[in-house]
């Protein structure tokens, strides 16, 4: 049975904007990446999702196909992003069977909780290999197809291209390294590397018409990451200015924006989708608890330098 549309994309997008386009997504069976691909398929694209588990990847591909009648979604399981030859073969098969690769989502990742003294060299290497080298291998495997697509769909922004957009890549990163996150040394280092890689791709490949951007999700409800890395929403959500966890739909909406005509001039950027979460890292602790103190209406007491008179403004 098809998933209800509101669960994976907003109603603002026009059907058919990605007709005859192809999305290639590593980590495509995951909760966030599958929503990104599902939204693209709903709007006209065909897709290939890449994963290590054959059963999980093929099952998700069949599920994503229900987003639009007549769509084609390849579930290419048994592919490890750490294996460049396997990724190259997956990209070749995708282009051969679906006709092109116009959009790429590099979303494969590994994570767990550990202090740096608990973190073994093998564990650190594993996360770097999956996240950073996996993203690099994804770029290398798909770049020739992206260059071809970008050339075919290059736009000057003054008029919509008759055949839509193409030649775009999104790296799925995180906000962990912006202000520092305990128990996440490995992931923080990896995501920082991914952010740097995206900028390099934008600079070097931009003249060919390619755009390269990052989406950095914050806490997203009902995902593997939250299930494994967080204790619960109620306390964590208090530290988020928007007051809640995000949804996979909101990541998918950002994806549609970057891949659509609306995102033509966005290149080498990081789109943070976290409800403002990372900005509050310095105000979660101490006597003035966020956001309770702001909402209470209480006066600030017990500290020097207080402004005692009300502003006339």
pLDDT tens digits, 126-144 = 999 999 999 999 999 999 9
Higher pLDDT, 45 or 158: 45
Q: Residue 310: its pLDDT value, please?
A: 56
Least confident segment among 42-51, 63-72, 76-85, 228-237: 228-237
Q: Residue 241: its pLDDT value, please?
A: 92
Q: Residue 182: its pLDDT value, please?
A: 86
Q: Residue 306: its pLDDT value, please?
A: 47
Q: How far apart are CA 270 and CA 244, in angstroms?
A: 21
The tokens for 112 are 């767990």
Residue 173 annotated as catalytic:
yes
Q: Which of 191, 198, 212, 249 is catalytic?
A: 191
Higher pLDDT, 142 or 230: 142
Q: Residue 170: its pLDDT value, please?
A: 98
Average pLDDT over residues 146-161: 91
252 within 8 A of 35, measured Cβ to Cβ:
yes
pTM score, two decimals?
Answer: 0.91
The tokens for 82 are 């750490």
Q: Residue 303: its pLDDT value, please?
A: 56
Least confident segment among 51-65, 232-246, 294-308: 294-308
Q: Residue 2: its pLDDT value, please?
A: 83
Q: Where in the chain are the domains? A: 13-296
Residue 260 annotated as catalytic:
no
Q: What is the pLDDT of residues 259-277, one digit of tens each?
A: 999 999 999 999 999 999 9
Q: What's the whole-number average pLDDT of the chain?
A: 91
Residue 250 in this model has a pLDDT that exceeds 60: yes
Q: How far apart are CA 190 and CA 201, in angstroms?
A: 17
Architecture of domain 13-296: 3-Layer(aba) Sandwich (3.40)
Q: Residue 312: its pLDDT value, please?
A: 57
Q: How far apart are CA 188 and CA 177, in angstroms?
A: 5
Q: Residue 134: its pLDDT value, please?
A: 98
Q: Which of 31, 100, 135, 173 is catalytic?
A: 173
Q: What is the pLDDT of residues 68-107, one digit of tens each?
A: 999 999 999 999 999 999 999 999 999 999 999 999 999 9
């Amino acid at each position: 049975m098809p998933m209800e549309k509101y669960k994976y994309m907003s109603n603002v997008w026009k059907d058919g904007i990605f007709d005859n386009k192809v999305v290639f997504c590593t980590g495509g069976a995951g909760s966030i990446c599958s929503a990104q691909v599902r939204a693209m398929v709903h709007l006209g694209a065909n897709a290939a999702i890449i994963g290590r588990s054959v059963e999980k990847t093929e099952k998700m591909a069949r599920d994503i196909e229900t987003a639009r009648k007549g769509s084609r979604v390849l579930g290419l399981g048994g592919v490890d992003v750490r294996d460049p030859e396997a990724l190259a073969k997956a990209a070749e098969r995708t282009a051969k069977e679906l006709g092109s690769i116009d959009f790429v989502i590099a979303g494969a990742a590994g994570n767990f909780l550990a202090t740096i003294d608990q973190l073994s060299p093998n564990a650190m290497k594993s996360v770097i290999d999956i996240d950073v080298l996996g993203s690099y291998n994804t770029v290398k495997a798909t770049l020739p197809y992206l260059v071809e697509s970008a050339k075919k769909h290059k736009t000057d922004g003054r008029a919509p291209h008759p055949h839509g957009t193409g030649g775009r890549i999104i790296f799925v990163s995180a906000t962990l390294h912006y202000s520092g996150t305990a128990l996440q040394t490995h992931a923080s280092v990896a995501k920082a590397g991914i952010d740097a890689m995206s900028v390099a791709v934008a600079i070097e490949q931009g003249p060919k018409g390619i755009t390269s951007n990052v989406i950095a999700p914050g806490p997203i409800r009902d995902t593997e990451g939250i299930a494994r890395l967080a204790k619960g929403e109620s306390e964590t959500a208090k530290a988020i200015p928007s007051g809640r966890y995000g949804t996979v739909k909101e990541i998918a909406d950002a994806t549609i924006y970057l891949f659509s005509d609306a995102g033509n001039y966005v290149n080498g950027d990081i789109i943070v989708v976290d409800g403002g979460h990372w900005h509050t890292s310095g105000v979660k602790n101490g006597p003035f608890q966020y956001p309770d103190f702001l909402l209470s209406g209480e006066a600030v007491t017990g500290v020097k330098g207080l402004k005692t008179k009300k502003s006339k403004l």
